[in-house]
Amino acid sequence: MTKNRFHESLTTDNAALLLVDHQIGLFTGVRDISVGELTHNVTCFAKAALRLGIPLVVTTTAADSMWGPLIPELRAVLPEGLEVIDRSTVNAWHDDRVRNAVEATGRDKILIAGVSLEVCAAFPAISATAEGYGAYVAVDASGTFSTTKRETGLLRLQQSGVIVSDYATLAVEMLADNADRLAPGVYADLDMPFATLVGQLAAAHGRAG
């Protein structure tokens, strides 16, 4: 039977996370998702990935000139000493340092989020797919500058064999088991508003008792 990479689960042993160009200047142009939601989602994604032991590769473009530094909320959750690779190439995968950093993780599934979706996330995802990686784009941890760009970016990703998902689904797939000792922390990191009320009520009830 032929092995189908679309049916292979993400795990904490086979995945790495590539965050591309979540920069202050680019965030000012995002229109397909609120800046607050995008900031929340990418920051939570990074926190959950780190808790799960997922290697992170983080990159910017022309941080000292065109687009500025990483958003401070993301910078604040990254490990001290993690190098943010600043590059000039449009496609992050075309920078040897970025590609080598991904290869050095030894993982064959690459989770990607970027601003903009159709360029910063899509281009390296398509390139990684062409080189045999399983590439996944977290759409809600990415953003772009118009509805048209979002729609055409998603179409191109799907046409290229990239798996499209959201940040929380990718994280819980890697978690795999809610009995894992990391589960409470991962869910707290993900900060999913629709999934926190019961826990909050239980905690409040415990304090009241």
- The ranges assigned to domains in the chain are 13-208
- From the candidates 20, 46, 120, 154, which is the catalytic residue? 120
pLDDT, tens only, 40-95? 999 999 999 999 999 999 999 999 999 999 999 999 999 999 999 999 999 999 99
Instruction: Return d(Cα 150, Cα 142) in angstroms, integer.
Output: 10
Question: Is 120 one of the annotated active-site residues of the chain?
Answer: yes
Spatial neighbors of 107 by CB under 8 A, at least 6 apart, are 13, 14, 15, 16, 55
Mean pLDDT of the chain: 92
CB contact at 8 A, 71 and 22: yes
Q: Is domain 13-208 classified as CATH 2.40.30.40?
A: no
This prediction's pTM: 0.92
pLDDT at residue 4 greater than cutoff 70: no
Residues, the chain: 209
